[in-house]
């Protein structure tokens, strides 16, 4: 496993980190979905046993079960050899200092640890940054740090370069986490964001390197571009190498849901050339052409973060977008349309959308959710079971 320096904190981490927002899940007897505890523990422990030392979770992932399973998986000797990052969101989900402290204490119990290596202010964006400052979140985090409950302070980010500069100038954060991938949109941080953090000694953790799994497979026109290379690589490796190439990146965070995905990624990050500046000029051109081919397809840029739900009408927005994108990526909608039939039976399909707009301000990707739900519904609806 390749390792990298973690900003200016003086220690190294694995170049590949395990994101715990997409742990293996299973349907329960009552129809709800929860973490598949057995598979998740196997996944996490396999990761630690094969060189991954960085784990990212959140107070809210999997309704809190992400932290619980992570703590159970890492308890004992494994905890001593890993870096754990977890996070809380303000002020929309927590708006008092008492709740802030109580939730941190809950997190420590869930994770079965006395301290958090990296405690993040979650989802910093233009809508919540003023509230973060007004609530005095950083000042409270400093108290937690003085008490030994947390070691370092960071933030996860969804916003433009101007706000990022303001946030970076507000406090000497130890690390920052944001999206960076082949299909970055104009709403996301450009390379200047990477460079700014790196110059300040702030560790950079990249999330969504495969765009919520969207880059893990490729339609025929994108595959044609990749096949121009004299080295055989699948879309997953192409997407990851795009990020691996950047020297400013400390950790590439991947939400791996299966042992097969984990093994594949470990193999990629264990390669001798999975290092900064690994891409040749020809490979960079291939990636640029692949990006253009993807962009010309105009898919819905949903990463499945689930911030847009619950919907007042019960519409499962991420699920609808996931089904649509699955059909779009593979140029074949039969399986997606059949799956959507079950969404209709459950009453979570797009026909229930009343265009109230409650979801719009919650989307980190700034997707026009109302319009895209209508578009996806028009394509997916109408499957007839034979």
Q: 74 versus 334: which is more confidently predicted?
A: 74
- Whole-prediction pTM value? 0.79
Q: Which domains does the chain have, with CATH numbers?
A: 3-295 (3.20.20.100), 317-380 (no CATH)
**Residue 266: strand, helix, or coil:** helix
What confidence score (pLDDT) does residue 358 get? 94
What confidence score (pLDDT) does residue 381 get? 94
- pLDDT tens, position by position, 235-267: 999 999 999 999 999 999 998 989 999 999 999
d(CA 121, CA 81): 24
Interior CA angle at 104 toward 98 and 108, to 5°? 145
What confidence score (pLDDT) does residue 327 get? 80
Helix (H) or strand (E) holding 66: helix 65-74
pLDDT at 383 over 70: yes
Residues 6+ apart with CB under 8 A from 229: 282, 283, 286
Interior CA angle at 32 toward 112 and 342, to 5°? 145
- Average confidence score pLDDT of the chain: 91
Window from 17-31, 216-230, 300-314 with minimum mean pLDDT:
17-31
Percent over 70 (pLDDT), the chain: 97
């Amino acid at each position: 496993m390749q390792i990298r320096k973690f900003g200016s904190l003086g220690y190294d981490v694995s170049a590949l980190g395990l994101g715990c927002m997409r742990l293996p899940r299973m349907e329960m007897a009552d129809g709800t979905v929860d973490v598949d505890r057995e598979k998740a523990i196997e996944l996490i422990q396999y990761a630690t046993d094969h060189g991954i030392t960085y784990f990212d979770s959140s107070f809210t992932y999997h309704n809190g079960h992400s932290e619980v399973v992570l703590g159970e998986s890492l308890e004992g000797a494994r905890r001593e050899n890993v870096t754990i990052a977890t996070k809380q969101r303000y002020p929309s989900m927590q708006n008092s200092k008492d709740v802030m402290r109580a939730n941190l204490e809950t997190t420590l119990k869930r994770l079965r640890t006395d301290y958090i290596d990296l405690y993040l202010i979650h989802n910093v964006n233009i809508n919540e940054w003023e509230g973060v400052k007004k609530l005095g979140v950083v000042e409270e985090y400093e108290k937690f740090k003085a008490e030994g409950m947390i070691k370092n302070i960071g933030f996860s980010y969804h916003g433009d370069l101007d706000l990022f500069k303001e946030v970076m100038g507000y406090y000497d954060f130890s690390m920052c986490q944001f999206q960076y991938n082949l299909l970055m949109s104009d709403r996301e941080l450009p390379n200047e964001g990477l460079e700014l953090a790196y110059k300040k000694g702030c560790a950079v953790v990249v999330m969504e390197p495969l765009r919520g799994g969207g880059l893990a497979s490729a339609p025929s026109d994108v595959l044609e571009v990749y096949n121009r290379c004299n080295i055989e690589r699948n879309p997953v490796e192409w997407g990851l190498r795009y990020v691996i190439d950047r020297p400013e990146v400390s950790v590439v965070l991947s939400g791996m849901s299966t042992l097969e995905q984990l093994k594949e990624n470990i193999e990629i990050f264990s390669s001798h050339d999975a290092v900064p500046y690994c891409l040749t000029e020809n490979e960079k051109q291939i990636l640029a052409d692949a990006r253009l081919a993807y962009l010309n397809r105009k898919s819905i840029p949903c990463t499945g973060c689930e911030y847009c739900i619950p919907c007042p009408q019960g519409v499962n927005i991420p699920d609808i977008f996931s089904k649509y994108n699955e059909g779009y990526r593979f140029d074949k909608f039969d399986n997606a349309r059949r799956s959507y039939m079950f969404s209709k039976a459950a009453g979570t399909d797009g026909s229930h959308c009343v265009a109230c707009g409650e979801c719009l301000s919650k989307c980190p990707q700034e997707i026009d959710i109302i319009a895209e739900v209508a578009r996806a519904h028009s394509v997916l609806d109408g499957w007839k079971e034979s």
